[in-house]
């Protein structure tokens, strides 16, 4: 790290300055659009242009008063929470199994379990649409929850498996040798240690479902429209300041999720440090 | 304890330890598999099954055999060289009357219309004119009398070609290929070839976005990997916050920023760079900007993790041996980042070619990628065969690239393990 401060030649200094300037512009490019629409949501006018005619919270009240937006928020929550719980159960069990399973089929099983992340959303959505329609699962909460669970589980498996990899299996053996049954060993020894990993998996799963729109686009009836689906419709028609208010609310939720992830990561590192140091 | 030990020693020498260990291990493996199975069963129902179903839709051909079963069996022995015999005409006339009555004629005529446009009109008008089954021996003349198309070999070849149960019609169509009457495959004429353009466009956008992400993401990843961790963590937020922000929010933000009286246009006009607003969104430019923005973190993060693992000693060693900074960078540093470049580029490209929402919202009609057409044929024109065939091609491309990615990342982990 110290060699960045001791740049000897002029060309090195120029190269470093270029890197800094270009990176600064790219980071600005990444943040700017999100920052740019935030003030617009507090505008008292109906147009999405600067300068703002005045400050008001009318678009936030508009969002809160709209039964359509509130229904979509409720739907997003119902589907997101249910899919998270389901994918946590399935994903955690599978991760525990995968950590111990030795087989030549393991790479194949892993590929299958992770494939929902890679397959383009439209393909999954079209397949589910064909498959679920005859079963009466389109236009229903259960269909959407099942579909979202399939999409969320890979993230749970990735996060929980990573946590299990750093988990010292000798600890559970120690518990067993001291007379703990497998259930007690899991609950009292394994679970507390992998809990931060489980929590990050849950956050990942929830964020995935909360942001998903393609499957909802194909499968949801008017009663199951989620927040992103409603935004999609709004952006298609014409972008009202209410949408920018919704965007800000969603961004705040993202910030909370991101901050929780970061806290969990730090906690996890501290735990590891305590164990090994 | 001692008692148990003695009891164990007294017992007849039963199962050897090796075998007992193996049995215990087998039980453990069985338990592990039992933990994985619920997820596999779940995915079979909610993911693998639906995808297999979609692939099945791309090759099945059920409409014509269901509506015109007697015609299909009459044509099974037809050589295709001359017009079929009176028997086939009579079978068709009977089938049309029945199919009209039970309502299966519409789907069959829609299917035949894909092979010959105008077939639907012929079939429907024939059904209208045909009041009763023609007298024995007059079916051929009656049908040709209603519509001259029945006197052409091509018409019958189309029915035979669509008589199922499996077809390669949709898969060939998705690649702008057709079969002629003899069954040999040929390329569709230039003016009818649309999917080649769409695939080309999809891959062009994918390549361009990947290149933009690499060019713009590389310096950022380098900076993040080189800076002291305090400032790097701070800058990392600028990468992670957009990454965690909803796709819809980011797409919406770009439309607001880039629209005709948006911030970018206003600023450029205020600066005097342009006199009139420039179209920056609902075109290819908007697609490139928004997709690069959305996919950039997928490039920066793998690059960063690879760069972070490169020991600075190598470049220092190169410098101490007399390499200029440029040479040290190009010959020592850059080659070590190639696994990260490969992983990032593949990841961005795989995600880019499957994109639907962003191009649909910020692109114009000429910027829609393959996913858009899959959705379009599924919900708008209800041509499920073609939608599934296009989906199969996209899926094949994605899975092939994902396997390369898997190999690459796996190899990386292995070399990473060796270094440690």
Point out the residue among A34, A49, A93 whose CB comes nearest to the CB of B35: A93
At CA A231, angle to CA A260 and CA B390, rounded to 5? 100
CB contact under 8 A, A22 and B51: no
Closest residue, chain A, to B43 (C-alpha): A150
Point out the residue among B36, B244, B406 whose CB comes nearest to the CB of A97: B36
- pLDDT tens, per residue, chain B with 420 residues: 444 444 445 555 677 888 999 998 899 899 999 999 999 999 999 999 999 999 999 999 988 998 899 999 888 888 878 888 888 888 888 898 888 888 888 889 899 998 888 889 888 888 888 878 888 888 888 888 888 888 888 888 888 888 878 888 899 888 888 887 677 888 888 777 889 899 999 999 999 999 999 999 999 999 999 999 888 888 998 899 999 899 999 999 999 999 888 889 988 988 988 888 889 999 999 999 999 999 999 999 999 999 988 888 888 898 889 888 888 888 889 999 998 999 999 999 999 999 999 999 999 888 999 999 999 999 888 899 999 999 999 999 999 999 998 888 776 554 433 333
Interface A-B, measured as beta-carbon pairs within 8 A, has a size of 269
Point out the residue among B35, B227, B228 whose CB comes nearest to the CB of A96: B35
Name the residue with tokens 């935030």. Answer: A38
As beta bridge partners, residue B185 has B179
Q: Quick check: A233 and A226 in contact, CB under 8 A?
A: no
CA distance A25 to chain B (A): 9
Point out the residue among B33, B384, B394 whose CB comes nearest to the CB of A120: B394
Chain A interface includes B50 (CB < 8 A): yes
CB contact under 8 A, B49 and A9: no
Q: Quick check: A155 and A148 in contact, CB under 8 A?
A: no
Point out the residue among A111, A118, A235 whose CB comes nearest to the CB of B361: A235
Name the residue with tokens 């690459």. Answer: B408
Best residue in B46, B205, B257, B286 for a mutation probing chain A (most A CBs within 10 Å): B46
- Residue spans per domain, chain B: 63-165, 195-419
Contact residues, chain B, for A33 at CB < 8 Å: 250, 253-254, 256-257, 293
Report pLDDT for B419. 34
A272 burial via Cβ count (<10 Å: 0-12, 13-18, 19+): middle
CB contact under 8 A, A112 and B40: yes
Report pLDDT for B79. 80
- Residue spans per domain, chain A: 58-276
CB contact under 8 A, B398 and A116: no
Contact residues, chain A, for B280 at CB < 8 Å: none
Report pLDDT for A212. 94
For the whole prediction, is pTM greater than 0.80? yes
Contact residues, chain A, for B375 at CB < 8 Å: 122, 125-126, 217-218
What own/partner pairs with CB < 8 Å and gap ≥ 24 does B143-152 have? B143/B89, B143/B92, B143/B93, B147/B122, B149/B118, B149/B119, B149/B122, B150/B89, B150/B92, B150/B122, B150/B126, B151/B83
CA distance B271 to chain A (A): 15
Chain A interface includes B45 (CB < 8 A): yes
Contact residues, chain B, for A235 at CB < 8 Å: 248, 251-252, 255, 361
CA distance A79 to chain B (A): 15
CB contact under 8 A, A101 and B40: no
Containing H/E element for A139? Answer: none
Low-confidence ranges of chain A (pLDDT < 50): 1-5, 277
Name the residue with tokens 């110290």. Answer: A2
Containing H/E element for A2? Answer: none
A-contacting residues in B 390-419 (Cβ below 8 Å): 391, 394-395, 398-399, 402, 406
Best residue in B28, B233, B256 for a mutation probing chain A (most A CBs within 10 Å): B256
CA distance B220 to chain A (A): 5
Nearest to residue B63, comparing CAs of B158, B171, B149, B139? B158
CB contact under 8 A, B406 and A111: yes
Q: Which CATH superfamily is domain B195-419 in?
A: MetI-like (1.10.3720.10)
Peptide bond into A145 cis (omega under 30): no
What are the structure tokens assigned to B365, written together? 């009609």
A-contacting residues in B 347-386 (Cβ below 8 Å): 350, 353-357, 361, 371, 374-375, 378-379, 384
Half-sphere exposure of A130 (CA within 13 A, CB side): 28
Buried-state track A146-157, b at ≥16 Cβ within 10 A, e below 16: bbbbbbbbbbbb
Check: CATH 1.10.3720.10 for A58-276? Answer: yes
A-contacting residues in B 157-216 (Cβ below 8 Å): 216
CB contact under 8 A, A120 and B353: yes
DSSP, res B61: -
Query: What string of H, E and C letters represents the secondary structure of B16-43?
Result: CHHHHHHHHHHHHHHHHHHHHHHHHHHH
Which ipTM value was assigned to this complex? 0.88
Report pLDDT for A273. 64
Contact residues, chain A, for B355 at CB < 8 Å: 120
CB contact under 8 A, B239 and A244: no
CB contact under 8 A, A150 and B46: yes
Chain A interface includes B33 (CB < 8 A): yes
Closest residue, chain A, to B327 (C-alpha): A12
CB contact under 8 A, B219 and A251: no
What are the structure tokens assigned to B214, written together? 């690499």
CB contact under 8 A, A4 and B226: yes
What are the structure tokens assigned to B91, written together? 């079978």
CA distance B264 to chain A (A): 10
CB contact under 8 A, A34 and B257: no
* Those residues with Cβ within 8 angstroms of residue B77's Cβ, 6 or more apart along the chain or in another chain: none
Point out the residue among A119, A235, A244 whose CB comes nearest to the CB of B398: A119
CB contact under 8 A, A34 and B49: no
């Amino acid at each position: 790290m110290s060699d960045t401060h001791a740049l000897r030649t002029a060309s090195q200094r120029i190269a470093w300055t270029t890197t800094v300037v270009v990176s600064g512009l790219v980071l600005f490019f990444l943040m700017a659009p999100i920052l740019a629409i935030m003030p617009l949501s507090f505008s008292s006018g109906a147009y999405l242009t600067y300068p703002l005619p005045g400050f008001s919270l009318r678009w936030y009240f508009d969002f809160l008063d709209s039964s359509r937006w509130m229904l979509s928020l409720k739907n997003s929550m119902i589907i997101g929470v249910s899919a998270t719980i389901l994918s946590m159960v399935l994903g955690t069990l599978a991760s525990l199994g995968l950590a111990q399973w030795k087989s030549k089929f393991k790479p194949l099983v892993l590929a299958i379990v992770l494939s929902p992340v890679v397959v383009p959303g439209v393909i999954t959505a079209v397949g589910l649409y064909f498959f679920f329609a005859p079963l009466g699962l389109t236009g229903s909460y259960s269909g959407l929850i099942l579909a979202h669970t399939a999409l969320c589980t890979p993230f749970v498996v990735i996060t929980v498996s990573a946590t299990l990899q750093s988990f010292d299996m000798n600890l559970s053996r120690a518990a067993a040798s001291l007379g703990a049954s497998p259930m007690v060993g899991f609950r009292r020894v394994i679970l507390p240690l992998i809990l931060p990993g489980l929590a990050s998996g849950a956050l990942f799963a929830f964020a995935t479902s909360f942001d998903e729109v393609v499957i909802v686009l194909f499968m949801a009836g008017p009663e199951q429209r989620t927040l992103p689906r409603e935004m999609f419709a709004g952006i298609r028609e014409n972008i009202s300041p209410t949408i920018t208010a919704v965007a800000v609310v969603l961004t705040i939720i993202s910030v909370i999720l991101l901050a929780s992830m970061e806290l969990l990561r730090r906690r996890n590192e501290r735990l590891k440090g305590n164990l090994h140091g | 304890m001692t008692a148990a030990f003695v009891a164990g020693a007294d017992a007849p020498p039963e199962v050897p330890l090796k075998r007992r260990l193996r049995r215990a291990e087998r039980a453990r493996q069985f338990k592990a598999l039992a933990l994985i199975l619920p997820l596999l069963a779940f995915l079979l129902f909610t993911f693998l099954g639906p995808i297999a179903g979609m692939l099945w839709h791309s090759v099945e051909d059920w409409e014509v055999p269901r509506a015109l079963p007697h015609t299909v069996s009459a044509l099974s022995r037809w050589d295709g060289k001359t017009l079929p015999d009176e028997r086939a005409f009579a079978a068709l006339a009977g089938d049309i009357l029945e199919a009209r009555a039970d309502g299966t004629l519409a789907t069959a005529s829609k299917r035949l219309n894909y092979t010959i446009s105008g077939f639907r009109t012929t079939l429907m008008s024939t059904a209208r004119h045909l009041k009763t089954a023609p007298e024995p021996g007059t079916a051929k003349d009656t049908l040709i009398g209603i519509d001259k198309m029945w006197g052409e070999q091509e018409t019958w070849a189309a029915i035979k070609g669509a008589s199922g149960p499996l077809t390669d019609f949709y898969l060939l169509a998705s690649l702008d290929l057709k079969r002629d009457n003899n069954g040999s495959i040929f390329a569709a004429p230039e003016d009818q070839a649309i999917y080649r353009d769409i695939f080309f466009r999809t891959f062009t956008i994918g390549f361009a976005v990947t290149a933009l992400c690499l060019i713009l993401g590389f310096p950022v990843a380098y900076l993040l990997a080189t800076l002291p961790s305090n400032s790097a963590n701070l800058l990392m937020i600028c990468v992670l916050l957009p990454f965690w922000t909803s796709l819809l929010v980011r797409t919406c933000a770009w439309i607001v920023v880039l629209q005709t009286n948006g911030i970018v246009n206003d600023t450029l006009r205020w600066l005097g760079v342009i006199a009139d607003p420039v179209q920056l969104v609902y075109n290819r430019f908007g697609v490139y900007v928004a997709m690069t923005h959305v996919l950039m973190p997928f490039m920066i993060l793998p690059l960063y993790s690879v760069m972070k693992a490169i020991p600075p000693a190598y470049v220092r060693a190169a410098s101490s041996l007399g390499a200029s900074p440029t040479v040290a960078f190009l010959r020592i540093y850059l080659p070590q980042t190639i696994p990260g470049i490969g992983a990032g580029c593949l990841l961005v490209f795989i995600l880019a070619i499957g994109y639907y929402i962003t191009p649909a919202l910020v692109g114009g009609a000429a910027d829609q990628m393959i996913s858009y057409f899959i959705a379009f044929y599924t919900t708008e024109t209800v041509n499920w065969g073609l939608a599934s065939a296009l989906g199969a091609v996209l899926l094949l491309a994605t899975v092939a690239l994902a396997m390369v990615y898997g190999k690459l990342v796996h190899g990386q982990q292995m070399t990473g393990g060796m270094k440690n």
